[in-house]
Amino acid sequence: MPETKTCPICGVKILVGVIGGDRVLFSVGPPGDRAKLWARVCQYNQKPGCINPDGGQNAQASDYYHPPTP
């Protein structure tokens, strides 16, 4: 059964134990994975207590935030 963990640093919720891998529930937009969370949040925070410090190992270019072009 999936377990929900909440990061004490950024407040994001992660569903752990879901078929297909952990799912990150962002406050805005579709769910993602730990690599996307790391690319968009964790790499900038770098505070003790983060529950996703190694999430960037599998980050791809599409995981990073790209502002819409006008």
pLDDT for 68 equals: 83
* Strand residue runs (E) in the chain: 3-6, 13-16, 23-25
pLDDT higher at 45 or 13: 13
Q: Residue 14 above 90 pLDDT?
A: yes
The alpha carbon of 38 is separated from its chain's Cα centroid by a whole number of angstroms, namely 5
Whose CA is closest to 36, among 19, 18, 60?
A: 60
pLDDT of residue 57: 86
Confidence of residue 51 (pLDDT cuts 50, 70, 90): very high
Residue 29 has pLDDT above 90, yes or no: no
DSSP label at residue 61: G
